[in-house]
Amino acid sequence: MSQILIDGLPPSEADLHYLALVNYGAYTSFRLEDGGVRGLDLHLQRLDTYAVDLFGDAVGQDRLRAIVRAALGPRRDAWIRVSLFSPDIWSRTPSAQVCPKVMTLVAPPPPPLATSMRVQVRTYGREEAHIKHTAIYGLIRARRLARQAAFDDALFADAEGLISEGSTWNIGFLRGDQVTWPQAPMLSGVTQSLIAQGLGGVGMTGVTAPVAVTALDQFDGAFLCNSATPACPILAIGEHRFATAPAVVARLQAAWSAAVPQPI
């Protein structure tokens, strides 16, 4: 069973009315593992940055922690989504400077996205891509069209063919022991950051550089990552196929798991 609370309380009818009509806000999501969260500090920093950028006032990390703890109760394993919104902001009245409300959704942990993926390149870029915002029409539409074309998901590239990110995940490209992260407008994911921090411990390195759809043959493989899926091999991007490399994916997962879960 999932549970939604707003500022630690059951949602009011007014809040639900607003959320049904206005899609202005931001969020982060993560897994609670035995009472801890990998990269919790990064998730909280993300939320406070979003609060200032989108609403004008920070929530404060201590308050965010308290709200999440209250939402979790005695649970030791769960999936948590923490969203920011404000009923003071509407399309005709967008100028309020306020501390946003905090909505929590607690649910059972979801399975990974997949054990492997075939993705279709879609010419698309998320609006204000550095923010994990709630305006997700474009990415759902892209994923839907990709699946209608017999692919598993969508990979975004700009009009010049530079790759950025997937629908709900980051992508990394492999060449030997090196991971190349695309240099493009995109959301820097927490799981991506944790993998990058742990690469040295598994004998790998990482760089950030432009990656063009026309240059895929320069790489040995590719993988996707997000909070539900630490590392999943990408078997094909469009018609370009990659060889499977289970040992490399295991090293990437080990780089991610080196991040110790932080207590809330």
* Nearest Cα residue to 192 out of 232, 156, 153: 232
pLDDT in tens, the chain (264 residues): 789 999 999 999 999 999 999 999 999 999 999 999 999 999 999 999 999 999 999 999 999 999 999 999 999 999 999 999 999 999 999 999 999 999 999 999 999 999 999 999 999 999 999 999 999 999 999 999 999 999 999 999 999 999 999 999 999 999 999 999 999 999 999 999 999 999 999 999 999 999 999 999 999 999 999 999 999 999 999 999 998 889 999 999 999 999 999 999
The yes or no reply on domain 3-107 and CATH 3.30.470.10 is yes
DSSP labels, 100-161: PEEEEEEEPPPPPS-SSEEEEEEE---TTTTS-BS--HHHHHHHHHHHHTT-SEEEEE-TT-
Ordered by start, the domain boundaries in the chain are 3-107, 117-263
Name, in order, each residue with C-beta under 8 angstroms of 192's C-beta and a sequence gap of 6 or more. Answer: 170, 172, 181, 225
> Which CATH number does 117-263 carry?
3.20.10.10
